Amino acid sequence: MTQSVFALVDVNNFYVSCERVFDWRLWGKPVVVLSNNDGCVVARSPEIKALGIKMGTPWHKLKDAAREHGIVALSSNYTLYGDMSRRVMTILADFAPRQEVYSIDECFLDVSGISGLAGYGQQIRARIQQWVGLPVCVGYGQTKTLAKLANHCSKKGLAGADGVCDLTALSQADSDTLLDQIDVGEVWGVGRRLVPQLGMMNICTVGDLRRANVATIRSKFGVVLERTVRELRAEDCLPLEAMAPDKDQIMASRSFGRPVTELCELREAVITYVTRAGEKLRIQGSVASSVLVSLRTNPFNDDPQYARQIVMPLPHPTDDMLALADAAERGIRQIYRSGFRYHKAGVMLMGLMPAEHRQTTLFEDSEEIARRGRLNEALDTINGKFGRRTVELFGAGIAKPWSMRAENRTPAYTTDWNALPTVR
């Protein structure tokens, strides 16, 4: 059997790069893209990284730096990023027999048996740049974990990488030298909490982790980190998942644009969220057994705090918007307490199963269920064609004064005829 080789391809500074495709004025400027509600930094241009601004920094703490350096801050535009992502993934799928789309901006490719990987990586980069206008980096390794690490090296220009890094081409000695230079926290699966714990065991670099005793790692940290160590040793533990498995739960939650105190507004919010979650549920072809409704105040301020969630079982598993909305509404009524300034609410659909596995019960009205099915289908079709929220439950509210801030969002250039970019 030949050794597997995986590629990890990802877009550099994805959200910022998407914005720059459509607005040349953003080139060379320090640009950040903010999270929902314009909360904190989720994407940074190289100029921002050079200023030492970290991922996740709250935007309100950057106002001074922004004035000083002329930082451009954009609200996130997921319609645009989602569409750009789809284009990139479609192109990449042509480069390998199997692809796993891992996140909005990265995918694994099975490139086992392909020769001339360095040149192949440059072809990938050139094509994405030419066809979509986005810069990507490519990393190769014998396992997914090594491919991720190689991608990191390609971004940092380590081992002479020029946007492409092939760890499979290194001798054992060169590979040791390289991995001894990289902080253990860069490894996929080693997060903030583990770094200090590993440090106490004198495991500080990727090389240290690769040489660590597997049994010790397992007993101290569990099977997940054990797999990571094995993967660093080129033992293939994490298979490529070409077919995305169905989700076990579907969430929709948002923080509010301003504090919310009244039940009527919370009710609008959770009905809005459960509508969105229901759309995702029907796209997946699943039904839900229960609806979790959650509510909380702002943990970052000194207001009196309150946080609660409640699971509302459904009479039978369903994907019907009206049934889901009813459960969500009853849930929010039960956990609401007056006298608090609420900051965030959410809905989670749980106990999902494929719609065709749903057991019918003795007392349900099959005609009514069929009618509801047609209603939901009609709503999804209309909203799919004319845009989300074209038709919506009245209970979801019209003006939605609680909805999140997005003060500087660019147009949906690629998915809305009215927002097509024009030549000026």
Partner DNA sequence: TCTGGGGTCCTAGGACCC
* Residue numbers at the binding site for DNA (CB under 7 A): 35-37, 39-40, 42, 56, 58-60, 102-106, 148, 187-195, 222-224, 245, 247-255, 258-259, 276, 280, 298, 300-301, 311, 343-344, 346, 348, 404
Whichever of 13 and 376 has its CB closer to DNA, that residue is 13
SS3 sequence of 74-118: EECCHHHHHHHHHHHHHHHHCCCCCEEEEECCEEEEECCCCCCHH
In the chain, the amino acid numbered 308 is R
Whichever of 6 and 188 has its CB closer to DNA, that residue is 188
Whichever of 230 and 276 has its CB closer to DNA, that residue is 276
| Chain centroid offset of residue 98 CA | 21
Whichever of 118 and 237 has its CB closer to DNA, that residue is 237
- Best CA proximity match to 281, nearest among 248, 329, 311: 248
Q: Cβ of residue 221: shortest distance to DNA, in angstroms? A: 8
Q: Cβ of residue 115: shortest distance to DNA, in angstroms? A: 28
d(CA 58, CA 68): 17
Q: Cβ of residue 291: shortest distance to DNA, in angstroms? A: 13
Run of H or E including 222: none
Whichever of 36 and 122 has its CB closer to DNA, that residue is 36
- Best CA proximity match to 319, nearest among 364, 289, 361, 360: 289
Question: Which residues does 418 contact at the CB level (< 8 Å), separation at least 6?
Answer: none
Whichever of 170 and 307 has its CB closer to DNA, that residue is 307
Question: Which residues does 315 contact at the CB level (< 8 Å), separation at least 6?
Answer: 323
Whichever of 60 and 374 has its CB closer to DNA, that residue is 60
State the pairing for strand pair 286-297/164-166: unpaired
Whichever of 310 and 369 has its CB closer to DNA, that residue is 310
Q: Cβ of residue 8: shortest distance to DNA, in angstroms? A: 9
- Best CA proximity match to 310, nearest among 329, 335, 327: 335
Q: Cβ of residue 296: shortest distance to DNA, in angstroms? A: 10
Q: Cβ of residue 367: shortest distance to DNA, in angstroms? A: 31
d(CA 377, CA 320): 10
348: exposed, middle or buried (Cβ count in 10 Å: 0-12, 13-18, 19+): buried
Q: What are phi and psi of 31, to 5 degrees?
A: -125, 135
Q: What are phi and psi of 111, to 5 degrees?
A: -110, 25
Q: Cβ of residue 208: shortest distance to DNA, in angstroms? A: 16
Whichever of 126 and 224 has its CB closer to DNA, that residue is 224
Q: Cβ of residue 369: shortest distance to DNA, in angstroms? A: 24
d(CA 58, CA 241): 35
d(CA 50, CA 47): 5
Q: Cβ of residue 286: shortest distance to DNA, in angstroms? A: 11
